[in-house]
A and B are shown apart, each in its own frame.
Chain A
Amino acid sequence: MMKDSASRLSLWLLLTPFLLWILLLVLVPHLQMLRVSFQVRESWDTLVWGFDQYQNFFTESYYWRTFVRTGVMSLFTTFLTLIIAFPIAWYIARLARGRARGLLFLACLIPFWASELVRTYGWMILLRESGLISSWLQLLGLADAPVEMLYNDVAVIIGLVYNGLLFMVVPLVTTLDGMDENLVEAGYDLGGGHLTVMREVVVPWAMPGIVSGCIVVFMLTLGSYLTPILMGGKDSAWFTQQIFTQFITRFNWEQGAALGVLLLFLSSVIVWIGLRLSGQSLRKVMG
């Protein structure tokens, strides 16, 4: 009896930091945000419940267009990251041996020793008008004048893919690593070509890794702030910027909260659809 209650106590003590974390840093702020988003400020000291902020979102085309753009570009970035990360992960997991393997993994990790800000500035140094690539192009005679490669959607996507790469490579390497080499050989042996083996054997096997990588990269991309602001042009607005503007610049917390709720909703829906389409469950994907 004594022992039972003691073990229960230690369980609660161990759980407390985690529960506090979830409660104070995740649950409470989100519920608060949800509450604020339905409050309409009538004058400086009177608040009523209403849907005004959400209405604003749909009537003001700038809001929802940025919203859709952010969603679509995040999906595209995630897809691109997957396409780039897969061969890298394949190489690390199946072909590289011993030392080379560790070094390659390290090479993927090293950029993350610097902060996102520094990494983004790195790209800016390369891509800007007076940057390295521009001057090389001029040196090689491929361009007559300085070329501006920054401040457009391509630059934003380059930066976002770069930021997401590691988070795609790691789960892919983990799943591909566990795959029996004989499975691939059996795929060929029974008459499959490269494409068939990839589609029927390798991808289904790697599906949990693919989906978990995609979820992480998609969430990171959708919620990223620095990269789109610094590398994007005037027209490449990111939805997080809108939220920032509402909260900080315009001091319109109600509108900002509504936009925040919408962004959360968007990411949840897209992740749910992704899981549905790939036939995976969250439990399986997150291991």
Chain B
Amino acid sequence: MTSHSDLSCTGLVRRFSGHTAVDHVSLDVPAGTFFSILGPSGCGKTTLLRLLAGFDKPDEGDIHIRGQRMNDVPPNHRPVNMVFQHLALFPTMSVGENIGYGLKRQKVPAAERQKRIVQVLEQVGLPDLAGRNPQQLSGGQRQRVALARCLVLKPTLLLLDEPLGALDLKLREQMKVELKHLQKAFGTTFVYITHDQSEAMVMSDQVAVMRNGRFDQVAPPEVLYRQPETPFVAGFVGDNNRLRGDLVSVEGELADIRLDDGSRVRGRIACEGLEPGSRVDLFVRPESLVLAGEAINPGYTGMDARIRTTLFDGANSRVEAEAAGQTVYARLPQDGSAPRLGENAAVRLAWDPILARVFEAAT
């Protein structure tokens, strides 16, 4: 089977009085994959999702689902279902009736309907709850009912509008993993929007990072993390340290940069058109930073820093340091081998220049 796309959009534009919420967005989601749209609130991701669901119409551009143009198809005739942010379970119906609502609309006979309700409830791990009221369920259970209500209809595309936002942290972690498993089990194409980068990273096959109505980068999570293409992606996805300086020279793909306090560091160039003398931002992840005192690889680059404090957080323990007039975080080795670092201790922070990324400074 050729890998066809379940959803493809070209040049989608949606303007509201004064601003463009969705600005020439094109995307392509292969069948059976988990696609996330990640962005800060107000970036236009909810508007985009509403365009896909059919609650809103694009001013320009086309939406194709399995090759069929959907622009003028009303939401009730699209092979698309949506899990709402606040779930929107019908409070006047039982769990079974909620799930049966869509089946009834598809004119599935009553006996078949019952069978499919029982089956889908089992698949989402809630057997025997069909007779309950949604209000009687816990947050996680309601979540599953909302999913079951959509999945039972076997949609081509399932849209999810930050459905995990209302859950507490522990349950959210659990549901993240579970959603991914459910997506694999059902094989339905998921389009998930969120502002939580960890949700997007854990669950998705592809993530689109959205800002001001546009996609900055569309890539698998790991590529997004390791090779961000824009400074926004570098700063938004995962923790990152940003150091500002002037570009001194370029050798191959490495840039030599003078930070504002005069120290010289190196990093890999990640964008085009950089000239010596231009302002640049260097992004280096906390886990790429090595605390000197340990044997430093001669190829590494580094700078002097002063420890402010140590932040213990299990496997994610970090030190907060000040370097070149800026705050920098460095991850502590997980084996506890880090030297005891007192406040104001002077250290040298070093990193492999290949792992740092240099962009033209954002104004």
Residues of A within 8 A of B (CB): 180, 182-183, 185-193, 196, 200-201, 204-205, 207
Q: Which of B81, B90, B153 has the most CB of A within 10 A?
A: B90
**Chain B residue nearest to A184 in the complex (CB):** B88
Q: Which residues of A contact B76 (CB under 8 A)?
A: 188-193
Contact A190 B102, beta carbon cutoff 8 Å:
yes
Contact B101 A182, beta carbon cutoff 8 Å:
no
Q: Which residues of A contact B80 (CB under 8 A)?
A: 189
Q: How far is the CB of A278 from chain B (nearest CB, A)?
A: 12
Which of A180, A185, A191, A205 is within 8 Å of B105, CB to CB? A191
- Complex Cα spacing A186 to B150, Å: 10
Asked if B149 lies at the interface with its beta carbon under 8 angstroms from chain A, I say: yes
The 25 sampled A-B contact pairs (Cβ below 8 Å) are A180-B86, A182-B84, A183-B90, A183-B91, A185-B53, A185-B55, A185-B75, A185-B82, A186-B84, A186-B90, A187-B90, A188-B74, A188-B75, A189-B55, A189-B80, A190-B76, A191-B77, A191-B105, A191-B153, A200-B90, A200-B101, A204-B92, A204-B93, A205-B91, A205-B92
Q: Which residues of B contact A193 (CB under 8 A)?
A: 76
Q: Which residues of A contact B77 (CB under 8 A)?
A: 191
Q: Which of A188, A190, A205 has the most CB of B within 10 A?
A: A190
Contact A189 B81, beta carbon cutoff 8 Å:
yes
Q: Which residues of B contact A185 (CB under 8 A)?
A: 53, 55, 75, 82, 84, 88
Q: How far is the CB of A189 from chain B (nearest CB, A)?
A: 5
Q: How far is the CB of A69 from chain B (nearest CB, A)?
A: 36
**Chain A residue nearest to B161 in the complex (CB):** A182
Q: Which residues of B contact A180 (CB under 8 A)?
A: 86, 88
- Complex Cα spacing A196 to B46, Å: 26
Q: Which residues of A contact B106 (CB under 8 A)?
A: 191
Q: How far is the CB of B101 from chain A (nearest CB, A)?
A: 6
Contact A183 B102, beta carbon cutoff 8 Å:
no
Given A180-B86, A186-B84, A205-B92, A192 and B74 contact (CB-CB distance below 8 Å): no
**Chain A residue nearest to B101 in the complex (CB):** A190
Q: How far is the CB of A177 from chain B (nearest CB, A)?
A: 15
Residues of B within 8 A of A (CB): 53-55, 74-77, 80-82, 84-86, 88-93, 101-102, 105-106, 149-150, 153
Q: Which residues of B contact A189 (CB under 8 A)?
A: 53-55, 75-76, 80-82
- Complex Cα spacing A77 to B74, Å: 36
- Complex Cα spacing A185 to B52, Å: 13
Contact A192 B81, beta carbon cutoff 8 Å:
no
Contact B105 A182, beta carbon cutoff 8 Å:
no
Contact B105 A190, beta carbon cutoff 8 Å:
yes
**Chain A residue nearest to B77 in the complex (CB):** A191
Q: Which residues of B contact A205 (CB under 8 A)?
A: 91-92
Q: Which residues of B contact A190 (CB under 8 A)?
A: 76, 81, 101-102, 105, 149-150, 153
Contact A186 B92, beta carbon cutoff 8 Å:
no
Contact B88 A183, beta carbon cutoff 8 Å:
yes
Given A192-B105, A196-B105, A205-B91, A186 and B82 contact (CB-CB distance below 8 Å): yes
Interface contacts beyond A190-B153, A191-B77: sample of 14 additional A-B pairs, CB < 8 Å, sorted by A: A182-B85, A183-B90, A185-B82, A185-B84, A186-B89, A187-B90, A188-B55, A188-B75, A189-B55, A190-B81, A191-B102, A192-B101, A192-B105, A200-B101
Q: Which residues of A contact B91 (CB under 8 A)?
A: 183, 205
- Complex Cα spacing A186 to B102, Å: 10
- Complex Cα spacing A191 to B92, Å: 18
Q: Which residues of A contact B90 (CB under 8 A)?
A: 183, 186-187, 200-201, 204
Q: How far is the CB of A245 from chain B (nearest CB, A)?
A: 46
**Chain B residue nearest to A201 in the complex (CB):** B90
Q: Which of A186, A192, A201, A205 has the most CB of B within 10 A?
A: A186
- Complex Cα spacing A180 to B92, Å: 13
**Chain A residue nearest to B152 in the complex (CB):** A190
**Chain B residue nearest to A191 in the complex (CB):** B105
- Complex Cα spacing A126 to B97, Å: 50
- Complex Cα spacing A193 to B84, Å: 19
- Complex Cα spacing A173 to B81, Å: 29
Q: Which residues of B contact A182 (CB under 8 A)?
A: 84-86, 88
- Complex Cα spacing A246 to B145, Å: 62
Q: How far is the CB of A239 from chain B (nearest CB, A)?
A: 36
**Chain A residue nearest to B50 in the complex (CB):** A185
Q: How far is the CB of A195 from chain B (nearest CB, A)?
A: 11
Q: Which of A187, A205, A207 has the most CB of B within 10 A?
A: A187
- Complex Cα spacing A185 to B50, Å: 10
**Chain B residue nearest to A207 in the complex (CB):** B92
Q: How far is the CB of A170 from chain B (nearest CB, A)?
A: 21
The 5 closest A-B CB pairs, nearest first, are A191-B105, A182-B88, A204-B92, A190-B102, A186-B88
Q: Which of B53, B54, B55 has the most CB of A within 10 A?
A: B55
Q: How far is the CB of B72 from chain A (nearest CB, A)?
A: 15
Q: How far is the CB of B160 from chain A (nearest CB, A)?
A: 12
Q: Which of A180, A187, A191 has the most CB of B within 10 A?
A: A191
- Complex Cα spacing A186 to B76, Å: 9
Q: How far is the CB of B82 from chain A (nearest CB, A)?
A: 5
- Complex Cα spacing A207 to B92, Å: 10
Q: Which residues of B contact A186 (CB under 8 A)?
A: 82, 84, 88-90
Q: Which residues of B contact A207 (CB under 8 A)?
A: 92
Q: How far is the CB of B87 from chain A (nearest CB, A)?
A: 8
Q: Which residues of A contact B101 (CB under 8 A)?
A: 187, 190, 192, 200
Q: How far is the CB of B93 from chain A (nearest CB, A)?
A: 8
- Complex Cα spacing A72 to B102, Å: 38
